[in-house]
Every structure is written in C-alpha cells, then in structure tokens.
Amino acid sequence: MSSTRRNFLGLALRGAGFTIGLPLLQSVLPRAARAATPSPKRLLVFYMPNGRNKATWQPTQTGTTYALPSVMAPLLPLQGQMSVLSGLVNQAGLDSTGTGDHSKATTTVMTGVPHVWSRTNALTMDQRLAQSLKPPTRITSLQWGCGQPNVCDAAANCADTQALSWSGASTPLPPICEAQTAFSQLFGSDDLSLSSQQRESLRLSRRSMLDFVLQDANSLRVKANATDAQKLDEYLTGVRALEQQLDATTSPACKSGSMPGAMLSYQEQVEAFSDLMVMALQCDQTRIITFMVEFGLSSRTHPFLNAPLGHHALSHYGSADELAQLIRVETWQVQQAANLAL
C-alpha cells in the first residue's frame, strides 16, 4: 500500500492556522515500515507533593502477586504492567544546603545532584533524556501542572517548589498551569504571550476544526483496517470532546469552587490536563512530559473529597480523621495518574 505525505504529516486545517496530527496508523504504512517501526520511547513524570504515608503506600510483599496498599488501589488494573520500587532514598536532597526540606526534595528528585539553596540546580533527567534521544516531535518536552501560585518554601526561590524540570543550573522550566493555554501550545499557537482577545480569536477558529478534517479522515478509513478505523474514531471523538470541554470554560456560567482566574475547578483542570497528556502522546506531538498535580509544599484543600484541611498539614497528620483525609487525597491523586493508562 502506498503512503502519502498527508498520512504522515496529519491534516492541515484550512483557514484555521494550525495542523493537527493523526495517530500513527499501521495500515497506511508501507509493509516494510510496519515491521520496522519500533515503539517510541516515552517518559511521563507524574509528580505528587508532600511525600507519601509509607503505611498506606509501600507494598509489604515482593514478587508478582503482591497486594497493593489502599492508596495504590486505583493502579490494580495495571499491576501486571508496572513495577513498584521501594528502599530508594533521595540522598541529593538530604545533602542539599540551606533550609526548606520541600524545596530541596523537589529540585533534586529528577537530578540526583545536591541543590545549592536558592541559587542553582542541575539539568533534570527529562531534559537530559531529550538531549540524548532527540525525539523527532514538534515539541521536545512539555511541562504542565495544576499548582497554586506563590507556594514557596521558607526563603527559598519559589522556582524550587514550582518547577520540576530544569534545562540548566539556573534555568527552571515553570509548568503551564492553565488548560486552555496548554491546548493552544499543543494544537494552536506556540506564542503564549498572546492577548486574551487574540487567544479568544484562536479559540473561535478552533471550535469547528474537526469539520474541516472529517472528510479527509473518512477517506483514510477506506485504507484502514478494522483496528485503525476504530483508532481513528476514538481519536476524532476524543479531540471533539476535549475541544467542547475546553470551550465550555469560557462560558459566563462559572461553577462554584472554580480556581481563581480560570473557569475550571481544580478537579476539572486536572482531568482536562489528563486528556491533554494522552492526546499529546497519542498524536506524537511530544514524547516527554512532566506534570505536577500540585506544587511542592502544597497546602491545597480538597473539599470535593471531604478533605478540608490543607494537604501539607495532612501529611503531618495527628489524628485518625486527618489520616483519613490524607488517604482520600492521596488515593485521588493516584487515580488521576492511573487514568492516563486506563
């Protein structure tokens, strides 16, 4: 079967000003390429702050039939495909200078290099991997998160708790924490300095983007086998659902509990980023993602989980009720990570 340039580069949206790539379909590749195309190497780091409660986090058994602790129960469907590593110590964090345990832990967890407090860090593993693999994607790596601003540890540089990725000793890569901005980065303009009016114009041009590509996508179905046809349907349905979800955030009807300055609640924002991460990898827009479900030293409350006390305070629980709240928060965070693969 012949393969056209369009099959590989995706479908250009006429008049929309951007291109959206289709997932890799084996049935439109030449026969030799189908056998020779290896699975791409990917990295997704899902960061959860404030440590974990060892009693509800670490399995007590080894082997392949170990029982998952309560907080890790959402990962049960994936147990046969994952490994749980215990006995690890962030020695670099312990060897870092200055005060502020959370800043030292966050800055060193992906470097293994002791941190000079509030001054320098080192190249993080995601950026080192990007330099080594040189992935042939439009976006080398993505840094996303749902952190609350101004979460700083003692007198440390705020970047020490608000940036997981660093491209050099003095260059943190702060995560994008707004789903619409992330969507524009992924499928629209890379110019994140656009005014709200310009971004609204982009949003309006994007609303009906699938109408421009459905005809071309349907022509691909003629060439696609049953598996690829299903993949196309799932992909296009997912794009439209996500587009509608993000468009809904501009509605004047703002739900109670929405984050300041945004139309999505924290829970909805995390779910939107989950969809975006899946799509970023599925479309092969990038192969390296770091995501902070919250910043280091997070004191966010989770009323939707009946956990009104801040997460950081809960991590130092002093009562059975506080421990129960902590378990609900940590279980929900693990569920968000599991959702990426379920």
State pLDDT tens for residues 251-277.
Answer: 333 232 332 235 789 999 999 899 889
Query: Does the residue 68 lie in any domain?
Result: yes
Tokens of residue 52, six digits: 């974990």
What pLDDT, on the 0 to 100 scale, is given for residue 210?
53
Q: Which of 165, 174, 173, 205 is nearest to 187 (CA)?
A: 205
Domain-ending residue, one of 209, 231, 261: 261
* Whole-number percent of the chain with pLDDT over 90: 34
13: confidence class by pLDDT, cuts 50, 70, 90:
very low
Instruction: Please report, for residues 26, 52, 116, 223, the alpha-carbon distance to residue 38 in angstroms, rounded to integers and kept in the order given.
Output: 11, 36, 41, 22
Judge whether residue 146 has pLDDT over 90.
Answer: yes
The structure's pTM equals 0.71
> Which tens digit of pLDDT belongs to each residue from 166-199?
988 878 899 999 888 888 787 765 454 555 566 5
Please tell me whether residues 293 and 328 are part of one structural domain: yes
Please tell me whether residues 14 and 94 are part of one structural domain: no
What pLDDT, on the 0 to 100 scale, is given for residue 161?
87
In angstroms, rounded to a whole number, what is the distance separating the alpha carbons of residues 50 and 72?
A: 16
Please tell me whether residues 129 and 109 are part of one structural domain: yes
Please tell me whether residues 52 and 119 are part of one structural domain: yes
Mapping DSSP to helix (H, G, I), strand (E, B) and coil, where does residue 144 land? strand
Please tell me whether residues 136 and 6 are part of one structural domain: no
Domain-ending residue, one of 261, 295, 322: 261
Please tell me whether residues 229 and 140 are part of one structural domain: no
Query: Does the residue 137 lie in any domain?
Result: yes
Quote the number of domains for the chain: 2
DSSP labels for 188-256?
S-S-TT--HHHHHHHHHHHTTHHHHHHHHHHHHHHH--HHHHHHHHHHHHHHHHHHHHHHGGGSS-PPT
What pLDDT, on the 0 to 100 scale, is given for residue 237?
62
236: confidence class by pLDDT, cuts 50, 70, 90:
low
Please tell me whether residues 207 and 299 are part of one structural domain: no
Beta bridge partners of 47: 292
Query: 16 is in which domain, residue-wise?
Result: 1-39+187-261
Please tell me whether residues 246 and 195 are part of one structural domain: yes
Mean of pLDDT values over 72-78: 94
- Per the prediction, the chain carries an average pLDDT of 77
Q: Sign of the CA dihedral 292, 296, 300, 305? A: positive
* Contact status, residue 121 vs residue 115, Cβ threshold 8 Å: yes
